[in-house]
Structure 1
Amino acid sequence: MPTLTRPARALLGGAAAATLLLTGACANSNSAAQGAAGSASATAGAVEPTGDIPEITGSTLVLRVDYTGGFVTPAMLATRIPMISVYADGRVITEGPTTKQYPGPALPNLQVQYVEAADVNVLVERARSAGVQNGVDLGQPGVADAQTTRFTLLTEQGVQTVEAYALAEAAGAANGLSAEQVRDRELLSGLIIALQDLETTLGPGRVKEPADYQPAAIAGVAMPFQQAEGDPAQTEKAWPGPALPGTPLGEGLDMGCVSAEAQAAKDVLAAAESATAITPWTSAGKKYTVQLRPLLPDERDCDDLMKRA
């Protein structure tokens, strides 16, 4: 199992930094992940975890950058895919290139890569040095309808989160921010650049080639189907998962969310391969548009998506 240790050097203005030191063979990791993650020995001086530390398995989220808010639809809020998610077993999950073809595919192009356990630690250290810790005040720039960039990091002190409203939109200008807030935002922007180019950040040959992410579960946000003017005709498909529309997303919203796992997830994924983003799905005699969202290793159902929206 991974061990939490304290390194000798200090980060973040002299505060003792907690580094998540990971072994490459978590008890609950699958064999493919184990082989890619490698092996790293726990260093001397290991200490017991303090704070709100989850039980660490291969599917434990270590580092994530995602978005909240912004001028988007409720369905997009619920199904938005994180920019990057790094897990304890070395999996790194991102969204791959998208097609400009319309209508696009029903399933998003999620990609998984693997890094060594020691390189997971490198990314943790990078996030710590960029200032990902609770309580950081990044200000509120005068920008309307922008999204918030959220950084989440697992450390020995627990899960650390920092949120930056309009991080990209307010870059390079004061916008009512203090000099310290501008500096802190630049550090976080630099972290994003580093995470988007892992080959440069970690070194040549340190990142495995990407492969299609194979989810164990999938969620779908369903709303009554309406043929939009100008859309090409689509073939109806029978929905093979739990009955639509599912759990309501919110008061006054004519949409719901369902999640499927095990064989039901396989059935939905198989059917989605020949569907598009505007395919009408039929369930109990009604037609729906369903926005599909493969669930990530740390997500179980629609509730997890709504917590992060």
Structure 2
Amino acid sequence: MTTTSTVRAAAVLVLALGLAGCARDGAGAGSPSPAAPLPSGLVLQVAHTGGFTTPEELATRLPLVTVYGDGRVLTQGPQIEIWPPPALPSVQVQQVDEATVRALVDRAVEAGVTEDGDLGEPPVADAPTTRFTLTTDEGTAVREVYALAETPDDTLPAEQAEARGRLRALQDELTGLTAPAEAYVPQTVAAVVAPHRGGDPELPQPDVAWPGPELPGTPVGPGISCVSATGQQAADVLAAAASASVQTPWVTPDGARWSIAFRPVLPHESGCADLG
């Protein structure tokens, strides 16, 4: 009896352990792996670089769209069509949920942002390059394509045209998000500065006292410099620029008159050093 009872008990123990192991294996197989956390800052961005334009435009150009891990999506907003145009560019911020951010990341991967195949060098002069940037827990991928909007697909080999088409569709999707939008109010604003050259004599603009940091600031390109205003100075600059135009003469206490192109600093940027 003792031997039989011992064998029976051992068999029951082995069976119980086997069932427990199966249960653990089944639970592991049926439970989805937790998603990797999104970066807290920049996740996805589409921006133009280069092209034939002025040094001021190169320095102050805004990305087409910037997506952050917390769901903020910054895009270029509509600009009123008057001359001279307003001094401040229009930037909008939308708020999307985590699932949408993850879906956009997946779309960027599907579109080829992490790939490195040849996208061609179309014979187009002075066009901008479109830069796609994707940041995940695995690192940052950057892919650049020259003259994306300016090059017809039928002028390229089929493989290059297909790869460009996927990136173009991604750009269209990102810039076409329809979440509610409101004006983006930056904590820091950069001012790209050059000597004022008189403007349009038929549309003279009134002088405005400059309320920000000392001008002209740090050189950032041929004939232009940059200063960054933050905190209360940024608020003062934004308030003064709200009713100014791109041809407004900004006057410093020494009587110097300056032309200023404004660039709202995005959440992942710090100031002049991050400009194009």
Q: TM-score, normalised by structure 1?
A: 0.75
C-alpha distance in structure 1 between counterparts of 2:89 and 2:188, whole Å: 14
C-alpha distance in structure 2 between counterparts of 1:189 and 1:246, whole Å: 38
1:5 alignment partner in structure 2: none
2:181 alignment partner in structure 1: 210
Q: 1:240 aligns with which of 211, 216, 223?
A: 211
In the alignment, structure 1 residue 278 sits paired with structure 2 residue 259? no
How far did 1:273 drift?
1.2
CA offsets per residue over residues 177-229 of structure 1, 9 Å max, x none? 43211110010011112112224xxxxxxx2x110101000001000001134
C-alpha distance in structure 2 between counterparts of 1:216 and 1:257, whole Å: 17
Q: Is this contact kept in 1: 2:196–2:258, CA < 8 A?
A: yes
2:162 alignment partner in structure 1: 183
1:14 alignment partner in structure 2: none
1:260 alignment partner in structure 2: 229
1:19-58 matches, cutoff 5 A = 44-45=33-34, 56-57=39-40
Q: Is this contact kept in 2: 1:249–1:255, CA < 8 A?
A: yes
Structure 2 gaps, min length 5: 1-31
CA offsets per residue over residues 124-162 of structure 1, 9 Å max, x none? 111110000153421211100100011011123211110
Q: 1:171 aligns with which of 152, 177, 183?
A: 152
Change (3 A) 1:296 1:241: same
Change (3 A) 1:180 1:148: same
Q: 1:151 aligns with which of 116, 119, 132?
A: 132
C-alpha distance in structure 1 between counterparts of 2:102 and 2:237, whole Å: 36
Which protein is richer in helix relative to its size? 2
Instruction: Give 1 or 2 for the bigger CA radius of gyration.
Output: 2
C-alpha distance in structure 2 between counterparts of 1:184 and 1:107, whole Å: 36
1:15 alignment partner in structure 2: none
2:78 alignment partner in structure 1: 97
Q: Is this contact kept in 1: 2:75–2:175, CA < 8 A?
A: no
Q: Is this contact kept in 1: 2:39–2:137, CA < 8 A?
A: no
CA offsets per residue over residues 72-123 of structure 1, 9 Å max, x none? 0111001001110111110111111111111111111111110001100011
Q: Is this contact kept in 2: 1:136–1:162, CA < 8 A?
A: no
CA offsets per residue over residues 42-79 of structure 1, 9 Å max, x none? x63566x9xxxxx943xx01111000000001110010
Q: Is this contact kept in 1: 2:227–2:272, CA < 8 A?
A: yes
CA offsets per residue over residues 7-32 of structure 1, 9 Å max, x none? xxxxxxxxxxxxxxxxxxxxxxxxxx
Q: Is this contact kept in 1: 2:39–2:136, CA < 8 A?
A: no
SS at match of 2:236: helix
Matched residue type, 1:289: S
1:302 alignment partner in structure 2: 272
C-alpha distance in structure 2 between counterparts of 1:225 and 1:79, whole Å: 17
C-alpha distance in structure 2 between counterparts of 1:231 and 1:85, whole Å: 38
Q: Is this contact kept in 2: 1:104–1:276, CA < 8 A?
A: yes
SS at match of 1:249: strand
Change (3 A) 1:230 1:89: same
SS at match of 2:261: strand
C-alpha distance in structure 2 between counterparts of 1:243 and 1:296, whole Å: 22
Matched residue type, 1:279: T
C-alpha distance in structure 2 between counterparts of 1:229 and 1:239, whole Å: 20
Matched residue type, 2:243: S
Matched residue type, 1:285: G
1:11 alignment partner in structure 2: none
Change (3 A) 1:239 1:167: same
C-alpha distance in structure 2 between counterparts of 1:156 and 1:135, whole Å: 19
SS at match of 1:296: coil
Change (3 A) 1:244 1:181: same
1:139 alignment partner in structure 2: 120
> Aligned residues: percent identity?
48
Matched residue type, 2:181: P
SS at match of 2:109: helix
Q: 2:111 aligns with which of 130, 144, 148?
A: 130
